Amino acid sequence: MTMVQVCGFVLCLFIGLLALTILYLIWTRKIDLSELLSEANGDASMSRFQLLIFTFVIAIALFEIVESSLKFPDIPQGVLVLLGISASTYAVGKGISYSQPEVMMQGPVSSSPDTSGAVDDAVAAAQAAANQAAAHAASAQQAAAKAQQASGN
């Protein structure tokens, strides 16, 4: 076995372990992909979804072709234009969303069932805190009245 072959096997081992580790970490959710398609307000983004689909389709197609011919093919202009359209849609959509952050952030409160529970909890907690503060204020007023009475006597 030549030195080149040994280096090749070592490289294969390293890349194989790296790929396995990445897949394992994604599967066990230590690499968290849950927000892969989410915008800043927690809603999923259509343009991110589109970019994900095109990236996978073109990456798998490119790999299959490299694998079958063992050479890197020319990337046709149409493919570049398609990826350009997809990436531009994503960038422009992001620009529109972030130009009016107050509009984007109001979205999940009214539309997302997952977050509506959290919002209800937050409202209930705020009401409990307000009740507690009112009770404290009432007892403070009573104490002040008593102190006034005591100073008057």
Partner 1 sequence: MISPTRIMHFEALGFLYGLAAIVTYQLFTGQINLQGLLQRKDGTGQTSPERIQLLLTTIAAAARYAAQVAQAPPGTLPDIPSDWLYLMGGSSSLYVVHKAWNVFKAAQQLGEKS
Residues 6+ apart with CB under 8 A from 137: none
**The residue to which tokens 């892969």 are assigned:** 36
Residues 96-115 binding partner 1 (CB under 8 A) are: 96-97, 99-100, 102-104, 106-114
The tokens describing 81, both together, are: 């234009």
Among 2, 5, 149, 153, contact with partner 1 (rule: CB under 8 A):
5
Beta carbon of residue 97, minimum distance to partner 1 (angstroms, whole number): 7
Q: Does 119 bind partner 1 (CB under 8 A)?
A: no
Binding mask 33-72 for partner 1 (x = CB under 8 A): xxxxxxx-xxxxxxx-xx-xxx-xxxxxxxxxx-xxx-x-
Q: Give alpha helix (H) positions in the chain.
A: 3-27, 46-69, 77-99, 101-105, 107-111, 113-152
Nearer to partner 1, 85 or 128 (CB): 85
The three-class DSSP label of residue 41 is coil
Q: Does 120 bind partner 1 (CB under 8 A)?
A: no
Length of the chain: 153
Nearer to partner 1, 114 or 150 (CB): 114
